[in-house]
Amino acid sequence: MKPSDSRTQLHEALLQWYAERGRPLLWRRTPGDPYQVLVREVMLQQTQVARVERLLPRFLERFPTVQALAAAPLAEVIRWWQGLGYNRRARLLWECARRIVEDYGGVIPSDPGLLTRLPGIGRYTAAAVATFAFGRQDVPVVDTNIARALQRLLAETLPPRVLLQRARELIPPGASVQWHEALMDLGALYCRKRRPLCGQCPLRSWCRSAGREVQELSSGTRGEPHFQGVPRRLWRGRLLRLVATVGRITLEEVAAALFEAPPTPQQRRWLRELVAGLVRDGLLQSRRGWLMLPQ
């Protein structure tokens, strides 16, 4: 930001833009209770917004409360999760609901520190729930879009801990929810990873890197394994959808369904590794040669 510009002006510019141009997402039109916020934030961890908008209402209709989710069989939760991908999140969300019922009497905690102790809830999701469900003013929510926008705004590539502190300092008094939603939209619509639309950005007058890109911190994660040109997560999803549809199935039947021709030795090895991973993650059970969803 330019020294002559005040932080108040920055806040006013972005919040005004958000009020007029923010994305009309489902949960912004009809805000939900803390349980609904928790479910949607877990879904949004690794699923596109449009898909979550489409599948969230269906999931909440079947599991309308944390108690309903906790009481449901895991196999049913996995079936209703289909279409969202990364199915391990379904099991973790189910375990999270059971812990909330058992340890907190069915009341979702508002403290990020307590939230991160729950299965499947990392620092970002805990911050998002604390902010969007409970209006916590002191908790910065920094996803990929927000991190990129802030680093470009400040023209600095900051370590995560420093970035969190700077993000906390920038939260406008009494408007944490709107501020973070506005930053998310800014990163998604204008401050894009490639070819940012600086000329259309409502913060271009304050942005120190307007018109040029600031290098983002590497996540340090390795690329996802592929087989036959398809990411492993999609193979896992295909296998689970198949099992969820038929109830139980043998490995040979899975191979026949997933591969057009009789499976090669390489395909068999890939399939065995895929099944073993799903069993380790608690998403499949193998009994006497049959594969099925966990009971």
DSSP 183-200: HHHHHHHTS-SSS--GGG
**Catalytic residue from among 20, 41, 61, 273:** 41
Phi-psi region of 247 (alpha: psi -120 to 50; beta: other; left: phi over 0): left
Give the distance, in angstroms, between the CA of residue 261 and the centroid of all CA atoms in the same chain: 36
Label residues 213-244 b or e (16+ Cβ within 10 Å = b).
ebeeeeeeeeeeeebeeeeebebbbebbeebb
Burial class of residue 162, CB neighbours in 10 A (0-12, 13-18, 19+): exposed
41 is catalytic: yes
Give the separation between CA 183 and CA 185, rounded to whole angstroms: 5
Cα-trace Rg, the chain: 22
- How many other C-beta atoms lie within 10 A of the C-beta of residue 284? 22
Can you read off the two tokens belonging to residue 77? Answer: 């939760």
Edge-to-edge strand list for the sheet holding 248-250: 248-250, 290-292, 285-287
Phi, psi of 265 (to 5 degrees): -55, -40
Which sequence positions are flagged as catalytic?
41
